[in-house]
Amino acid sequence: MKILLPALSPTMETGNLVKWLVKEGDNVVSGDILAEIETDKATMELESPDDGKVEKILVKEGTENISVNTEIALLKVDGEEIEEISEKPSEISSQVSSNGSDTATTEVKISMNSLLNQTKENLEAKNWSEKEITMREALNQAIEEEMNLDKDVFLLGEEVAEYDGAYKVTQGLLDKFGSKRVLDTPISEHGFTGLAIGAAMAGLKPICEFMTFNFSMQAIDQIVNSAAKSLYMSGGEINVPIVFRGPNGAAARVGAQHSQCFISWFSHIPGLIVIAPSNARDAKGLLKSSIRNPNPVVFLEHELLYKEKTNVPEENDFLIPIGKGNLIKEGKDVTIIGFSMSVQRILNALPSIEKLGISPDIIDLRSIKPLDEELIHKSVKKTNRVVIVEDGFGSTSFGSHLSYLIQSNCFDFLDSEIIKVSGKDVPMPYAENLEKLALPTTDEIVSAVKKVSYIN
Amino acid sequence: MNKKVNNSFSNDQLLNFYKKMFLIRKFEEKAAQLYGAGKIGGFCHLYIGQEAVVIGILSSINSEDTVITAYRDHGHILARGVDPKLVMSELTGRKDGISKGKGGSMHMFSKANRFYGGHGIVGAQVPLGVGIGFAHKYRNEKKISRVYLGDGAMSNGQVFEAFNLASLWELPVLFIIENNKYGMGTSIGRSAAGGELFERATVFGIKGEKVDGMNFFNVSESAIRAREYIKKNSKPYIIEMDTYRFRGHSMSDPGLYRTKDEVNKMKEIDPVLMMKESLLNDYKIQEAKIKDIESDIKSQIKDVEKFSLESPLPELKELYTEVYL
């Protein structure tokens, strides 16, 4: 019997073989622990699926980035012939990777890191010492640095402490700061969000993690009515320095109640700052700025981006200002605007767009509220054409508002209608093909660019 | 009716508590008049009838302690010592209002006086107040967060989440249920199943009691007991105040849900009058002293009214200020 590396989380594409707990020749029974596998979220135990003898270990311990469904061992089960070891990766394995091509970012032809390295912002930046790390690590660094700098900063949420974070963003922070500053909460969003806002009113600076932003709906009243409005309705007396953060949007096949983008919801509310970074560098610089900001900040991350790497400065003083977008690719023919995951979708479509002879400006908004209108207008006045890409439902969406702002400020400069490529107005389906279709696709982005460019 | 209960207050202190109760009563009566005259708009929830609760609790409060409540907040912010002129000017929506005319009746705050609002969503102030208690503990401040809620809020889900967190994390919080018997027009009998309201917190391991909230002395005694318990055990406590509002839920309440007889019967145990009788009969304070206080307050209220009507409307540019800091 072949032992394959199993998928141990919805977003797991590869894993690391941390340790074998058996050796060749060992007899095992069903349920015995064979190995420890590190996934994108945690280190898990791999159990034997049957009784038998460990015939051969095919992948050494310590091996990293093993694709899901790779054969890692052979188990001799009574009455079963030993199977041939496949020469090529199994059929299932290759099928998974090709099906994942539109949502997974592994096949992005244009690397975010190389684009970022060429941006005006980075070229003008200080000569920081940098390291290529994942967005997950970047967020963790941001929290750790700010907690070291300010004892009023504390972290609370479900599974942030002893579990090391449901998505490992808060890994190791409990050990560093103790249970007074890193607090596991009950599954009680309405209560602990209100508690965190109250603590902020009294002068602390909470980082309130939602395991995913879907669960923030339990606490939406506290975010909107207590956090966002108190400064105004107290005539400036009570400010609420808090960061609400966690993954937002569709991850991978977790169904309708766990796959929704809330950017349009939160950006509707005066008093909230809304941030949605697309890469590790921005995530760190913006989270640090958010923690230092005296207003309530909704910091929307994306689970599929947690594993993506870019160069990230290691300095305490590295901040990215809130309210500044980033022209990540400079062109001339069309302005394509995205944020968070939709930036990756634009990059996925970029090779096809360039094949048409079109050179786009690509703007990563990063900050949704306040919005860098100056950057957008400057680009639109140059290109005269706009495509907006957003994962959220298209109906009454942030993208709709953005296109309104552009037409009212750049009306005389537009040579075409503005096209918005949004998530479809349906609850997120579970089936892989339907989920892919529910989100903005490469084809839709390319078609939109063609249409605003009058190319058939 | 009243009898002298054990307390360590001097007669001057008691007179001062009476003065505050009388101030709240007269302030609210004036607010009702100004509302009727169209000088106050929107919602306006009067505290008349519940004065013994807030002043009884006040008698146990250290000036550093914090307070948060819901929308029936005029009495609370006055008890905390904020200038009545600023409170009335908020009701008239003027520039000199405590929230610069941008909050209104339900949204008044004063950090200097440790008063954290003034919240319009029933129940929402409870987790917030627990969070303020969290901040006290986090900073090792020897403060207690006083969190007021009504009988209506006691059926609101987040309140139970807040009880759980306060008890689980052993936070210095005193919950005070102002049970005035009606959540807007719905009596507790029609809204709350089971036994006493405070018992809904005791299941989370929070100790508590029910007290006659019409009587200053009973409230004070229980509030001091609660304070000592919280200080000693570093755990939350809950007191249910049996009280009553003599006016409607808000100014636009037709009062169809209760009889005049019921209201009149409750007015026989008017907390302000009972306190006055006790000062006269049990503490042998001279009537002239009380009269002086009352006439001081009455003349103060005249100044408050004048101030609140003369204060200008907020400047139009204020529309866009204080959305962000």
Pairing mode, strands A334-338 and A360-364: parallel
| Residue type, position B186, single letter | T
Is B136 within 8 Å of A202 (Cβ atoms)? Answer: yes
- Tell me the count of A-B CB pairs closer than 8 A: 143
Taking alpha carbons only, the member of A369, A99, A358 closest to residue A252 is: A99
Q: Can you say how many angstroms the Cα of residue B156 is from the centroid of all Cα atoms in its chain?
A: 19
pLDDT, greater one: B53 or A30: B53
Average pLDDT over residues A215-221: 97
Q: B150's torsion region: left (phi>0), alpha (psi -120 to 50) or beta?
A: beta
User: Helix or strand or coil: residue B29?
Assistant: helix
Which residues of chain B lie closer than 8 angstroms to A196, CB-CB?
Answer: 131
| The predicted structure's pLDDT at residue B59 | 95
Q: What is the pLDDT of residues A271-285, one digit of tens each?
A: 999 999 999 999 999
A129-313: which CATH topology?
Answer: Rossmann fold (3.40.50)
- Put simply, the answer to whether A195 touches B127 (Cβ < 8 Å) is yes
* CA A300 and chain centroid, separation: 8
As a whole number of angstroms, the distance between CA B290 and CA B298 comes to 12
CA A395 to chain CA centroid, nearest Å: 23
Contacts with A, B 68-87, CB within 8 Å: 68
Instruction: Tell me if B124 and A202 make a contact (CB, 8 A cut-off).
Output: no
Q: Where are the domains of chain A?
A: 2-99, 129-313, 327-452
C-alpha A221/C-alpha B225 separation (Å) is: 34
User: Which residue in chain A is spatially nearest to B100 when comparing CA positions?
Assistant: A235
Q: Minimal Cα distance from B65: which residue of A?
A: A202
Chain A nearest CA to B323, separation (Å): 5
Across the interface, whether the CB atoms of A154 and B117 are under 8 A apart is answered no
Residue A1 in tokens: 């019997």
Catalytic residue chosen out of the listed positions A13, A145, A158, A189: A189
Tens of pLDDT, residue by residue over B136-185, are 999 999 999 999 999 999 999 999 999 999 999 999 999 999 999 999 99
Q: Hey, are the CB atoms on B162 and A232 less than 8 Å from each other?
A: no
**Closest chain B residue to A182 measured between Cα atoms?**
B138
d(C-alpha A119, C-alpha B51), whole Å: 64
What six digits make up the tokens of B19?
């003065």
pLDDT over threshold 70, residue A100: no
∠ Cα B34 B35 B38 (to 5°)? 90
pLDDT band, very low/low/confident/very high, at A102 (cuts 50, 70, 90) = very low
Which is more confident, A444 or A48? A444
- DSSP 8-state secondary structure symbol assigned to residue B102: S
Which among B141, B218, B150, B207 is positioned nearest to B174, based on CA atoms? B207
Contact B98 A180 (CB under 8 A): no
| Interface with A, mutate which of B111, B134, B171, B311 (most A CBs under 10 A) | B134
- Return d(Cα B302, Cα B46) in angstroms, integer: 18
Q: CB A204 to CB B168 under 8 A?
A: no
pLDDT at A41 over 90: no
Residues A389-417 have pLDDT tens digits of 999 999 999 999 999 999 999 999 999 99
Kind of pairing between the strands at A130-134 and A360-364: unpaired
Q: Which pLDDT score is estimated for B7?
A: 75
Tell me the pLDDT band of A95, cut-offs 50, 70 and 90.
very low
User: Is residue A96 scored above 70 in pLDDT?
Assistant: no
Q: Please give the Cα distance from B318 to B95 (Å, whole number).
A: 9
- Going by their DSSP bridges, the two strands B115-118 and B66-69 should be labelled as parallel
pLDDT at residue A385 greater than cutoff 90: yes
Placement of tokens 């049970």 in the chain: B179
> Closest approach of chain A CAs to the CA of B158, in angstroms?
5
According to the model, what pLDDT value does residue A422 have?
98
Residue A91 has pLDDT above 80, yes or no: no
Q: 305-324 in B: which are within 8 Å (CB) of A?
A: 321-324
C-alpha to C-alpha distance for B150 and B145, rounded to whole angstroms: 17
- Answer yes or no: do B323 and A271 touch at CB < 8 A: yes
The CATH superfamily label for domain B11-311 reads Thiamin diphosphate (ThDP)-binding fold, Pyr/PP domains (3.40.50.970)
Tokens 């907020």 label which residue? B314
pLDDT of B8 reads: 86
Question: Where is pLDDT greater, at A333 or A94?
Answer: A333
B residues 166-185 closer than 8 Å to A (CB): 168-169
Q: Which fold has domain A327-452?
A: Rossmann fold (3.40.50)
* Chain B stretch 254-293, residues whose beta carbon is closer than 8 A to a beta carbon of chain A: none
- Find the residue in A nearest to B139 (Cα): A152
Note the pLDDT tens digit of each residue in A11-31. 888 899 999 999 999 999 988
**Digit-coded pLDDT (tens) for A130-159:** 999 999 999 999 999 999 999 999 999 999
Please indicate whether the domains covering A2-99 and A327-452 agree at the CATH topology level: no
As separate numbers, helices (DSSP H) first and strands (DSSP E) second, chain B gives 12, 8
pLDDT at B242: 97
Asked if residue A307 lies in contact with residue A167, where contact means CB atoms within 8 angstroms, the answer is no
Q: What is the pLDDT of residue A205?
A: 98
Nearest CA in chain B to A197: B128
Which 3 state secondary structure label does DSSP give A133? strand
Chain A contacts of B98, Cβ < 8 Å?
235, 237
Q: At what angle do helices B125-138 and A189-201 cross, to 10 degrees?
A: 60
C-alpha to C-alpha distance for A33 and A20, rounded to whole angstroms: 9
Q: Could you tell me the pLDDT band of residue A85, with boundaries at 50, 70 and 90?
A: low
| Whole-number Å distance between alpha carbons of A346 and B290 | 77
Under an 8 A CB cutoff, do A201 and B134 touch?
Answer: no
**Per-residue pLDDT tens digits for A157-169:** 999 999 999 999 9
Based on the number of CB atoms within 10 Å of its own CB, is A178 exposed (0-12), middle (13-18) or buried (19 or more)?
Answer: exposed
Residue B67 amino acid letter: V
Statement: residue A97 has pLDDT above 70: no
Contact B133, B236 (CB under 8 A): yes
Chain B within 8 Å of A226 (Cβ-Cβ)?
A: yes
Tell me the mean pLDDT in the region B275-281. Answer: 96
- Residue-level pLDDT at A101: 44
- Report pLDDT digits (tens) over B7-51: 789 999 999 999 999 999 999 999 999 999 999 999 999 999 999
Chain B residues whose CB is inside 8 A of the A322 CB are none
Average pLDDT of chain A is 92
Characterize the bridge pairing of strands B145-150 and B115-118.
Answer: unpaired
CB pair distance less than 8 Å for B324 and A295: yes
Instruction: Indicate which residue of A258, A308, A390, A435 is catalytic.
Output: A258
Q: How far apart are the first and last CA of chain A?
A: 53
Helix (H) or strand (E) holding A282: helix A280-292
What local confidence, expressed as pLDDT, does residue B5 receive?
Answer: 62
In angstroms, the CA B309 to CA B33 distance is 13
- Asked if B53 and B219 count as a contact pair (C-beta separation under 8 A), the reply is yes
At what angle are helices B84-91 and B11-36 packed, to 10 degrees?
A: 20
Closest C-alpha to B162, from A187, A190, A227: A190
Identify the band that residue A60 occupies on the pLDDT scale cut at 50, 70 and 90: very high
List CB contacts (< 8 A) between A226 and chain B: 119, 121, 124, 128
* B63, B282 contact by CB (below 8 A): no
Residue A227, chain B, CB below 8 Å: the answer is no
For chain A, say whether B135 makes contact (Cβ under 8 Å).
yes
Contact A175, A147 (CB under 8 A): no
CB atoms within 10 A of CB B289: 15
Which residue from A minimizes the CA distance to B166?
Answer: A195
All residues of chain A having their beta carbon less than 8 Å from the beta carbon of residue B132 are 198-199, 201-202
A189 catalytically annotated? yes
pTM: 0.91
Sort A77 into a burial class: Cβ within 10 Å, 0-12 / 13-18 / 19+: middle
Contact assignment for A233 to B127 by CB distance below 8 Å: no
> Mind telling me how many Å the CA of A198 is from chain B's nearest CA?
4
Residue A56, strand partner residues:
A74
Q: Are A237 and B111 in contact (CB < 8 Å)?
A: yes
Contact yes or no for A195 and B325 at CB 8 A: no
**How far is Cα A445 from Cα A422, in angstroms, rounded to an integer?**
10
Alpha-helix runs per DSSP H in B80-142: 84-91, 125-138
Q: List chain B residues with CB under 8 Å of A238.
A: 109, 111, 116-117
Most distant CA pair in chain B, distance = 56
Beta strand A419-423 with A367-369 is: unpaired
Whether A83 has a pLDDT exceeding 70, the answer reads no
Check whether A267 has a pLDDT greater than 70.
Answer: yes
Nearest to A440 by CA among A394, A400, A408: A394
| Whole-angstrom distance, CA of residue A416 vs CA of residue A388 | 13
Tell me the pLDDT of chain B averaged across its residues: 95
- Rounded distance, CA A331 to CA A379, Å? 9
Whether domain A2-99 has CATH 2.40.50.100: the reply is yes
Mean pLDDT in residue range B213-224: 97
The ipTM estimated for the assembled molecules is 0.94
Domain boundaries, chain B: 11-311
Q: Which pLDDT value is given to residue B252?
A: 85
Tokens representing A106 are: 């592994």
Q: Please state, in angstroms and rounded to a whole number, the distance separating the CA atoms of residues B200 and B190.
A: 17
The length of chain A, given as a count of residues = 456
Q: Is B235 on the interface with A (CB under 8 A)?
A: no
Cα–Cα separations (whole angstroms), residue B197 to A187, B176, B189, B210, B230: 24, 11, 11, 9, 20
Look at residue B1 in the predicted model and tell me its pLDDT: 46
**A190/B contact by beta carbon, under 8 A:** yes
Least CB–CB distance from B325: residue in A195, A222, A294: A294
Q: Rounded to the nearest 5°, which phi and psi values hold at B253?
A: -85, 120
- Asked if B161 is an interface residue toward chain A (Cβ–Cβ < 8 A), one would say yes
**Residue pair A198/A224 in contact by the 8 Å Cβ criterion:** no
- Taking the Cβ of residue A233 and every Cβ of chain B, the question of whether any pair is shorter than 8 Å is answered with yes
**In this complex, do A295 and B325 lie within 8 Å of one another by their Cβ atoms?**
yes
CB contact under 8 A, A194 and B126: yes
What is the spatial distance between Cα B103 and Cα B118, in angstroms, rounded to a whole number? Answer: 9
**8 Å CB contact of B126 and A154:** no
| Mean pLDDT, residues A302-310 taken together | 95
